[in-house]
Amino acid sequence: MHGEFKVPGGKLVVVDLEIIDGRIADFRLAGDFFLEPDDALESINAAVNGLPADSEAAVITKAVRDALPEGALLLGFSPESVATTVRRALQKATAWTDYEWQLIQGPAVDPTLQMALDQVLSDEVGEGRRKPTLRIWEWDKPAVVIGSFQSVKNEVDLENAQKYGFEIVRRISGGGAMFMEAGSVITYSIYAPADLVQGMSFADSYAFFDDWVIVALKALGIEASYQPLNDITSPSGKIGGAAQKRLGNGAVLHHVTMSYDMDGDKMVQVLRIGREKMSDKGTKSANKRVDPLRSQTGLPRADIIEKMIDTFTGLYGLTPSQISPEEYAKAEQLVTEKFGTEEWLQRVP
């Protein structure tokens, strides 16, 4: 069995192993990480050999950590990442390059339809009717997208939302509210088979899904990094946040919104939570907390998206696609039955 795991912000960890009588055998650790002293590698191999094949990640992590000689130095990986890689090998996880990735770019659609498309496209990938897909969203009207478990009245100032023309919609993933205006954000979704994140914790899979965009942002001159659980940030401030949903049909939905040129003062009038975050930090304006992509790159939004697409293509491959009439029809039905209803929006009043 073979497993690989690229540590977000770190190095590649590779393991090969066999299962004999229900236990791990012939275990070999490799990768482009740094490890001192040299013989610590054999100590790790010996620690994993003989463990039950159904060992949880915590058990594998402890075995590796306990086996390290005093003063051992691990750079670019950790005992936890070894455990993740072992679990991926045992569960026969796949890699990005095992798939033919497709790209959907635009067009702008109604916010409720955006929510429905995320569910439909995830379902299509999970059911095997669509290849794994990257979708870049477009917006033509202002909206507040709240997380699946957020309270409408706690998150949104309804009077100001109406004043500024913001529609309020609820997505299927958890996490916080997203403030959307045309041309102000970059939003993307990844629809992938669950096998891609087999053996990973939720925390690992968040960073795993966005490692490529960190590469793209760094190529644009931004010192971007991932801040657990779900933030993309830089020394100049937060850039964006991620949300994720693992569906029962074998698909994973991962989506991210990054600020390009956000009106921070309007945001804190529409979002109640924005006011609380500002008061925590003793600042009066969201512009002082979230430094958008425009100010950090000086580039048009379209150029940043082009770099993102080029980066994904170079790493994993990407071919153009589009939303089919059948997928649109399913999404429109979901708008009627779910995402456009008060029952869904007010599920957490």
The pLDDT assigned to 237 comes to 84
Amino acid at 46: A
Q: Tell whether 106 and 65 lie within a shared domain.
A: no
Q: Tell whether 132 and 58 lie within a shared domain.
A: no
What percentage of the chain carries pLDDT values higher than 90?
87
Q: Tell whether 122 and 209 lie within a shared domain.
A: yes
Q: Tell whether 193 and 213 lie within a shared domain.
A: yes
Weakest mean pLDDT among 54-63, 94-103, 167-176, 198-207: 198-207
Q: Tell whether 72 and 127 lie within a shared domain.
A: no
The pLDDT assigned to 327 comes to 98
The pLDDT assigned to 108 comes to 94
The CATH number of whichever domain residue 47 belongs to comes to: 3.30.390.50
The pLDDT assigned to 170 comes to 98
Q: Tell whether 295 and 265 lie within a shared domain.
A: yes
Q: Tell whether 248 and 323 lie within a shared domain.
A: yes
The pLDDT assigned to 290 comes to 53
- SS3 assignment, position 159: helix
The pLDDT assigned to 20 comes to 97
The pLDDT assigned to 61 comes to 97
Strand bridging mode 167-170 / 143-146: parallel
Confidence (pTM): 0.90
Where does residue 86 fall: left (phi above 0), alpha (psi -120 to 50 degrees), or beta otherwise?
Answer: alpha
Q: Tell whether 114 and 81 lie within a shared domain.
A: no
CA distances from 196 to 92, 257, 280, 286 (A): 9, 22, 38, 36
The pLDDT assigned to 264 comes to 85
Weakest mean pLDDT among 217-231, 274-288, 315-329: 274-288
Mean per-residue pLDDT for 208-235? 94
**Arithmetic mean of pLDDT over the chain:** 93
Q: What are phi and psi of 168, to 5 degrees?
A: -110, 125
Residues 6+ apart with CB under 8 A from 202: 229, 244
Mean per-residue pLDDT for 189-196? 97
Domain final position from 74, 90, 106: 90
Domain final position from 73, 90, 107: 90
Q: What are phi and psi of 319, to 5 degrees?
A: -125, 145
The CATH number of whichever domain residue 109 belongs to comes to: 3.30.930.10
Q: Tell whether 206 and 336 lie within a shared domain.
A: yes
Number of domains the chain is built from = 2
Mean per-residue pLDDT for 130-156? 96
Domain that holds residue 47: 2-90
Task: State yes or no: pLDDT of 258 exceeds 90.
Answer: yes
92/113: higher pLDDT: 113
CB 122 within 8 A of CB 180: no
Read off the pLDDT of residues 280-307 as tens digits, 9 standing for 90 and up.
Answer: 443 444 444 455 799 999 999 999 999 9
- Model confidence at 212, pLDDT cuts 50, 70, 90, reads very high
Domain final position from 27, 57, 90: 90
Q: Tell whether 161 and 276 lie within a shared domain.
A: yes
Read off the pLDDT of residues 72-104 as tens digits, 9 standing for 90 and up.
Answer: 999 999 999 999 999 999 999 999 999 999 999
Q: Tell whether 86 and 199 lie within a shared domain.
A: no
The pLDDT assigned to 8 comes to 85
Mean per-residue pLDDT for 165-172? 98
Task: State yes or no: pLDDT of 48 exceeds 90.
Answer: yes
Q: Tell whether 18 and 127 lie within a shared domain.
A: no
Q: What share of the chain is helix, strand, coil (3-state, %, to 5)?
A: 40, 25, 35
Mean per-residue pLDDT for 97-119? 96
